[in-house]
Structure 1
């Protein structure tokens, strides 16, 4: 494995860079400064809200690129590079479909603010971890903000209870199981692979110059773009099939150990 040509590192957040306590290690921040000195770009790519991502990476937020909401929003410092919203009509029809699923809770994700309805308040502490800036609406159809993602929460298993009810809509919308409790619905062109592809064009990067880490199905498209794609030890089986290499678990400094190898190269 020749890592000497790497010019950009891209990592998912939950289950990848973040440990099970939703924390970024001090070890990573030390490695980031070394990567920066070598001119290697860093991109955080997550299904999380933009504000939630930069809260986790606050000390370095001015020096990174952020792919938020599964690729529906890309931002570098104060510059918004890409935004891919859902149409209002599609948003409303998806909300109607979600209301028919027992145990499903929909969150509307604007570019910089999320919107919950009153039915989601029992799970508010769980939701606050992922959505740092939010409002509660009685009726989500009343939200006028531009919506880039609908996140659907189930307190048992999103893959078992939500995805089977939504997968027949994949010709209209990107349907991604993004975690144990979450299915994300985006514009068909809004995914991490599309966003990373735009960044690779912007910075004139080829596949052998990009290193990508992921653990869940919303990472598949971006993993496929890189010659150096790493599935976490704790990754979904489909991710392990797609990624070319493996990393340790997110609770065992899996990303950090590979970055140390990159710096040695």
Structure 2
């Protein structure tokens, strides 16, 4: 098992893999889910067929556990998901119970806040803990949470905060005017020594996890526990927070609707999320057909 700061050994995306696929790792938004956040019948059938064939399916997402209802009815076998960009492993058979946490340390979260306040004035923050999200007054949450604490990030991260005992899964940083990729570059330069910084939103919203925590590193840990190597994994994604996972997996696919960096870095491409791109490849894998 890798440590919390150890990165999985990178794989060359263009390398041809001959081993049979034993595990499918798929992102959700922009990948498995259609734009209306539904799972198509074709995709549901493909996931079920994979599990019947003995191929495990992992949902690997930036979403928190409480937002996994979109796929909870479509889990089979183990029912595990990797959430919050690798910070939590969740059992969907048990109502989204978090069974493993790779936390962002409080001191590092505070250091990121201080660095971004200086480097990018106008940034607002939210703190995602195991018990839910809490945010600053200027932060625009995707969904209003009636039990969220609304206060400055420094207060939300203080030892006196109401939820201080709950581990921090990730820090979120939003800027109202910066271009998303520019914000990511600036944030990594200013605060990258304190956490792993990525993005999955079309807006200038960044997600900060503990150093070394990513979809790839947690997936690598889960696979190692099952005796599954990267050459036996097929991965799917569309955004920068998927890049490490797609590079690690022996077989990887960018959706047609993917971010340009993902399309460039990934040797395999499939059709878009609204055209069931994940299902198309799963069907070919199960049929033993040549893969694009």
Indicate the TM-score class for this superposition, using the shorter chain for normalisation: 0.7 to 0.9
Distance 1:151 1:184 in 2: 5
Alpha-carbon displacement from aligned partner over 1:66-113 (angstroms, at most 9, x marks no partner): 111110111234575531111112222323344453453312111241
Are the structure 2 counterparts of residues 71 and 164 from structure 1 closer, same or farther at C-alpha, using a change threshold of 3 Å?
same
- 1:180 corresponds in structure 2 to 202
1:159 equivalenced with 2:181 (yes/no):
yes
From 46, 54, 70, the equivalent of 1:56 is 70
Contact 1:98 1:105 in 2 (8 A): no
Q: Which residue of 1 aligns with 2:151?
A: 138
Structure number with greater CO (CA < 8 Å, separation at least 6) is: 2
Unaligned runs of 5+ in 1: none
**Cα deviations by residue, 1:2-50 (Å, 9 ceiling, x for unpaired):** 8881111101111111222222222211222111211211111111111
CA–CA distance in 2 between the matches of 1:164 and 1:95?
Answer: 13
Distance 1:133 1:205 in 2: 41
Mark the runs of 5 or more structure 2 residues left unpaired by the alignment: 1-15
Out of 82-91 and 57-66, give the one that drifted further: 57-66
Q: Secondary structure at the match of 1:136?
A: coil
State the TM-score, normalized to the length of structure 2: 0.79
The two structures have a TM-score, normalised by structure 1, of: 0.87
> Is 1:117 aligned to 2:136, yes or no?
yes
Alignment of 1:102-113 (within 5 A): 102-113=121-132
Instruction: Name the CA distance, whole Å, in 2 between partners of 1:233 and 1:186.
Output: 27
Partners of 1:58 and 1:97 lie apart in 2 by 38
Q: Point out the more displaced range, 55-64 or 153-162.
A: 153-162
SS in structure 1 at match of 2:212: coil
Partner in structure 2 of residue 13 of structure 1: 28
Q: Which of 36, 41, 44 lines up with 2:51 in the alignment?
A: 36
Q: Does 1:150 align with 2:171?
A: yes
Does the CA-based 8 Å contact 1:47-1:68 persist in structure 2?
A: yes
- Output the CA distance in 1 between the equivalents of 2:27 and 2:98: 19
Q: Name the Cα RMSD after superposition.
A: 2.5
Work out the number of aligned pairs and report it.
258
Distance of 2:286 and 2:76 partners within structure 1: 22
In the alignment, what sits opposite 1:27?
42
Query: Which structure carries more helix by proportion?
Result: 1
Q: CA distance change for structure 1 residues 167 and 46 in 2, over 3 Å: closer, same or farther?
A: farther
Pick from 190, 201, 218: which aligns with 1:168? 190
